[in-house]
Structure 1
Amino acid sequence: MSISDKNRKILWGKSGNLCAICRQALVIDPTPADPESVVGDECHIISGAKGGPRHNPEFPTEEIDSLSNLMLLCRVHHKMIDDQEETYTASVLHNIKSNHEKWVAEKLTDKPQNSPVRISRIKSEIPTQLPVIRSGKEILNLAMACHGTYSDYSDNLNDEEVDLVGGFIQNVSDWGDIASELEPIERIRAAKELEEEIQELSSKGFFVFAATEKQRMEGGINPPSTFLVLHLSVKRCTDPGIVTSETEGQSPHA
């Protein structure tokens, strides 16, 4: 019999690539001229060979290469336990193996856990009113700087208005996602398309309002960072709280 691949993998994994006695790493890093060097041995606690270290004729032959009869040692300590088998009895070695594998498991769980990723809003950055947008270029520039969108629109839209308002909100989101990758002429065309939609909305009695909000992302493996989200609102000019004139306007709430 021989040590199975499964038992070999489990042994090295539970031992953490370390000698169970001195905890020396058992794989040496490569050099510019040579590959890695393995300096660890998969050692039998009870030898299967007659006259071998700690040989026990009553020990089941099928258990010789079992995981419970194996431990991982550097070559120095492998020779030591076999030369000094009266000191390093099977019972002593089982205790060393058990304590080492428990230590490795505890060390692995001692690593600090990354905190969950969470998004927090910054009160001073939340827009309380949204300015009116009359330019496709303006809405495209706002959208392309953002990593998310809050959208709002008037209640009780008819089917035609759903297509008009929903299509515009979708197009702003889609163009914003890819605008930074567009060639200049493509970006100009996208802005023109959005401006034509804004004009059509205006002809149907709707205003477009938009502003950005800075939010904060924390947790995970990266340091805290900030990013922008877009507040986009399409409202009827007759909706309560809408304040507009020929040159400016505000929606009541973000």
Structure 2
Amino acid sequence: MTISDKTRKFLWAKSGNRCAICKTELITGTDASEEFNVGEECHIISSKKNGPRHLPNLQDYNNYENLLLLCRNHHKEIDELVDTYSEEILRYMKVNHENWVRTAIANAIQDDKAKKPKFLMRITSGKELLNVISEAHGYNTDYDELRDRDEAEYIGGIIQTFIDFGDICGMVQAYDKVQMSYDLQQLLDELEDNGYYVFGERDPNAILPHISGTDKWVVATLIIRKKENPEIYKVNL
């Protein structure tokens, strides 16, 4: 069994086209004809009996949790120095690297946000919301001042749910996406009943210099505002 296209896409997106150890770009070049790929999808636990860190009877050796994106040099290094690069160390490196990618994107978004004002359309359907968040590389989120801990937990949970749906969207089938759209619609309706509107947009060409000066990334902006917020403009189209 090989690594699925969905798993491979998810791994590269979460890793930001960077080696988890040295952070070097893995696909370089100014255009498709000059692209050079030095990245390799590495197994934390090998499926081979005599392979690095092998464990028998693992249900799926090619799942996302068992894969780490590295350059060729560091792939060779972790597989030769198995005492240094244990399973626990590699799993920590995977999580740490993907957090670094997300933080770098978030910081770049905040820098860009500070430079120019944004006018966002209100999102009123689950399908529309799913289209905004689907497989985004980064998320720009904002919300009004919170009154108490209960409101903080509620709004925080909603935002995290939106991000989780966006992250897994590329790994599910069409049937599941329809169900996700329905679930998101229920959340939008619930938010409106509780006095909130959701605004957002999808930018498929965001340039994030914290990761690369030339790469373009999909960034989803999601803003939750209270209905009475004076920043909201009602336009009769």
Band the TM-score falls in, shorter-chain normalisation: 0.3 to 0.5
Please state which structure has a larger fraction of its residues in helix: 2
- Which one has a bigger Cα radius of gyration? 1
With the length of structure 1 as denominator, give the TM-score of the two structures: 0.44
